[in-house]
């Protein structure tokens, strides 16, 4: 564990025991902010630089980052008239993380559309919430002439994209890689890794909602992909590594159970949370899922 992380954990652990209100306030501020954008990896630069770039003017939902409109960077590849695939990246990531998958999809004759979420990549803003992703996904979907041939999400992007499908965005297929199941599971993860005492779990969840999304008291109920499932008419593929330390494999097991009549679970070993996106077997499985007959 890096020294900075050990110091952070010790700080939250101490404040959680001696000054819980201060620990909750500090945690709420930290929770919604991903920190400095990660750079484009060297291996992903050719794909990143070959994209057709665009932008959306977006009004952030995160209260702590201000409500001024900001620019969201969008990217597309492939022939303009080809069937479209929407990609939604995870927390502290960026669109270019899908670089190898973009290459596979365009080589298969598909058109790829994606974006850098607020406070990520080349987009502006200081925080990201699922409501931001829902708004952006809807706007990108509204200009499509047909349902997405597929939607592919990674980590937090699985939750946002899955809820968008539940709420009416149209797609023929869905793939969730290293999935997060709910906002509740995200706040539980933060409590575990930050060092906050577990006894503050429920109070922290309330504080996070009040600080970041004060006008949305239903955020925990709304962003729950186990209860608000992807429509059964959209076959789903869950891909997860057995050794994922950020989002444990059991999350995709639960999603598979919640979508038992319309989903498959593909498990890898030794790839972790992020390397899984570049794995050849994973990429092949995503393409197979897109090409499978509707009755499969």
Please work out, in degrees rounded to the nearest 5, the angle formed at the alpha carbon of residue 69 by the alpha carbons of 63 and 72.
Answer: 105
Please say whether the dihedral angle defined by the alpha carbons of residues 220, 222, 225 and 227, taken in this order, is positive or negative.
positive
- Measuring CA to CA, how many Å separate 244 from each of 77, 161, 179, 187, 280? 30, 20, 10, 17, 18
| Per-residue pLDDT, 295 | 46
Provide the residue-wise pLDDT of the chain in tens; the chain has 296 residues: 566 678 789 999 999 999 999 999 999 989 999 989 999 999 999 999 999 999 999 998 877 666 689 999 999 999 999 999 999 999 999 999 999 999 999 999 999 999 999 999 999 998 999 999 999 999 999 999 999 999 999 999 999 999 999 999 999 999 999 999 999 999 999 999 999 999 999 999 999 999 989 888 899 999 999 999 999 999 999 999 999 999 999 999 999 999 999 999 999 999 999 999 999 999 999 999 998 765 44
Residues 218-254: pLDDT tens digits? 999 999 999 999 999 999 999 999 999 999 999 999 9
The pTM for the full model equals 0.95
Task: Find how far residue 28's CA is from the centre of its chain.
Answer: 19
Domains of the chain: 1-31+183-222 (no CATH), 42-182+227-291 (3.40.50.1820)
Is the separation of the CB atoms in 23 and 15 below 8 Å? yes
Residue 132 makes CB contacts below 8 A (sequence gap 6+) with: 58, 60, 61, 62, 117, 118, 125
What are the CA-CA distances from residue 287 to residues 13, 105, 124, 137, 280 (Å)? 45, 7, 32, 22, 11
């Amino acid at each position: 564990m890096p020294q900075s992380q050990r110091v952070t954990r010790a700080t939250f652990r101490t404040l959680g025991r001696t000054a819980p209100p201060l620990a909750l306030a500090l945690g709420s501020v930290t929770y919604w902010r991903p920190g400095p954008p990660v750079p484009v990896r060297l291996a992903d630069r050719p794909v990143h630089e070959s994209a057709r770039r665009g932008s959306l003017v977006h009004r952030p939902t995160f209260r702590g980052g201000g409500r001024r409109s900001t620019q969201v960077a969008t990217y597309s590849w492939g022939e303009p008239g080809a069937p479209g695939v929407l990609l939604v990246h995870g927390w502290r990531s960026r669109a270019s993380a899908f670089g190898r998958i973009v290459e596979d999809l365009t080589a298969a004759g598909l058109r790829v559309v994606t974006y850098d979420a607020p406070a990520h990549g080349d987009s502006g803003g200081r925080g990201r919430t699922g409501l931001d992703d829902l708004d952006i996904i809807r706007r990108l979907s509204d200009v499509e002439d047909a349902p997405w041939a597929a939607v592919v999400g990674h980590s937090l992007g699985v939750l946002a994209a899955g809820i968008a499908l539940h709420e009416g965005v149209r797609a023929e297929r869905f793939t969730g890689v290293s999935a997060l199941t709910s906002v509740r599971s995200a706040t539980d993860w933060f409590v575990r890794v930050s060092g906050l005492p577990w006894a503050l779990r429920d109070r922290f969840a309330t504080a996070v909602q009040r600080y970041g999304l004060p006008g949305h008291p239903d955020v925990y109920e709304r962003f729950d992909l186990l209860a608000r499932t992807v429509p059964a008419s959209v076959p789903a593929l869950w891909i997860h590594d057995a050794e994922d330390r950020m989002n444990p494999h059991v999350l995709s097991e639960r999603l598979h159970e919640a979508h038992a009549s319309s989903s498959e679970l593909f498990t890898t070993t030794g790839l972790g949370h992020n390397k899984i996106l570049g794995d050849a077997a994973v990429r092949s499985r995503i393409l197979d899922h897109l090409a499978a007959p509707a009755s499969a």
